[in-house]
Amino acid sequence: MSSNAGETEARRKRCFTTLTEVKKTAIAIALTWSSTRQARALLDAAIEAGQENARFVGNVMNAMDTLRHFGSHSWINECFMIRAREVRDNWRAYVLQRLAYIAVLGLAVALQFAVTLLLLIPEYHAGAITIGDMVLFNTLLLQLNMPFETVARAISDVARSRADLIPLGRLWAAPEERQASHAHDFKPSADQLSFESIGYAYDNGRGVTDVSFKAGRGGITFLVGETGSGKSTIFKLALKSIEPDYGRILVDGTDIASVDRADWYAAVALVPQEVMLLNEPLADNILLGRPRDEVRLRDASKEAAILPLIEALPEGFETTVGERGLKLSGGERQRVAIARALYGQPAILLLDEASSALDERTERDVMDHIRTLAEDVTVLAITHRRGVISTSDVVVDLTDCALSVT
């Protein structure tokens, strides 16, 4: 009877130990899952804060000269410190949360050993087991813990991987650019650009409504109007950077919505108000990777009224312009941008206040050159200087989006 009682007691203890291990496993997995969810939120916040700080630094680098001229060093330093502290605080919160989780796991393991010893020491004193049996039992428990630790690490790794993939996921989730099946057939001929009852509204409610006009060859079509009247919006629509909420934009009767951007950009050239120049030779800044044709390069520079300046330089077209074109004046940078646009021999030329940095005489010369091009190219321009407009030009007034065409 005593033997059966001993076996029953041993089975009871084994069942108790097994149930204890199962409960511990369930608690460990639940704790890992809950801790990982909290850690994931902190990790996402830390990564987002780091990306925001990187964007801020990039913006500061682009505006370094302006910030230096206005003595904004202290302000920029304060802004950077605020963002850096946010990054640090988010990462510290994440690390502290993980440390707390590891500490809880450590206490759980210590409690496991304590309970095991409380159960086994009486058995040792009774002579039922030896020290070797106790060591073996605890070793087996540690081996049983290993799969659960692997599960915990896997959950943690998945959470970190998810946080790393969030930026890429946002890119993958972005809508794909719509492709037009017959875009390769697009070849403008008369190059007449028509806006038919175009409307577009931004999230803030601003935009344009019921815009209708035509731009063709023979002269420059100027968009004028007060700031915020929609001139830049019209350019974005013409460049297919945004799509109208309603209405159509036609070129020689073809809706540009049916034309792929690559084919459209091959027919359109833009001269922006803010010119981007690389720290490379003038020729490279005009070509931007396009095949070099010396005749076209010189013709485009001549039409942009910058060829005399280039020829006067010791290295000519191989002269390096400096970081962001700092070796050139504002007017010279804009003329390089005009030459860049004209090199591609576009069918439609868009000028976003392209002559705003030029003196009156140079501006007049450049615009006269462009008017000669307007016999073969459709030119659409934004300007605030009505003095550059001649009697042969077409003026589209966008003030209050109530169009008056003269």
The residues that bridge with 250 in the sheet, in sequence order, are 194, 255
| Residues whose CB is less than 8 angstroms from the CB of residue 300 and which lie 6 or more positions away in sequence, other chains included | 286, 339, 340, 342, 343
DSSP class of residue 99 equals H
Neighbours of 231 (CB within 10 A): 22
Neighbours of 69 (CB within 10 A): 8
Tokens at 11, concatenated: 């089975």
| Per-residue pLDDT tens digits for 292-332 | 888 988 988 888 778 888 888 888 888 888 777 778 877 78
Supply the CATH classification number for the domain 189-405: 3.40.50.300
| Residues whose CB is less than 8 angstroms from the CB of residue 138 and which lie 6 or more positions away in sequence, other chains included | 113, 116
pLDDT band at 10 (very low <50, low <70, confident <90, very high): low
């899952």: which residue's tokens?
A: 33
Better-scored residue on pLDDT, 21 or 352:
352
Supply the CATH classification number for the domain 2-173: 1.20.1560.10
Indicate yes or no: pTM above 0.75: no
What average pLDDT does the segment 186-202 reach? 78
d(CA 167, CA 220): 44
Same fold, 2-173 and 189-405: no
Check if the beta carbon of residue 43 is closer than 8 Å to that of residue 163: yes
Pairing of strands 394-397, 220-224: parallel
| Per-residue pLDDT tens digits for 266-295 | 888 888 877 888 888 888 888 888 888 889
**Residue length, the chain?**
406
| Per-residue pLDDT tens digits for 224-263 | 877 777 888 888 888 888 888 888 888 888 888 888 877 8
The domains of the chain are located at 2-173, 189-405
**DSSP-assigned letters across all residues of 330-380:** HHHHHHHHHHHHHHT--SEEEEESTTTTS-HHHHHHHHHHHHHHTTTSEEE
pLDDT at residue 326, as a whole number: 77
Q: Is the dihedral of CA 272, 278, 279, 280 positive or negative?
A: negative
Check if the beta carbon of residue 46 is closer than 8 Å to that of residue 90: yes
Torsion of CA 113, 118, 121, 125, to 10 degrees: 180
What average pLDDT does the segment 207-233 reach? 83
pLDDT at 108 over 50: yes
d(CA 307, CA 268): 23
Exposed/middle/buried for residue 306 (C-beta within 10 Å: 0-12, 13-18, 19+): buried
Angle at 100 between CA 94 and CA 104, to 5 degrees: 145
Pairing of strands 394-397, 348-352: unpaired
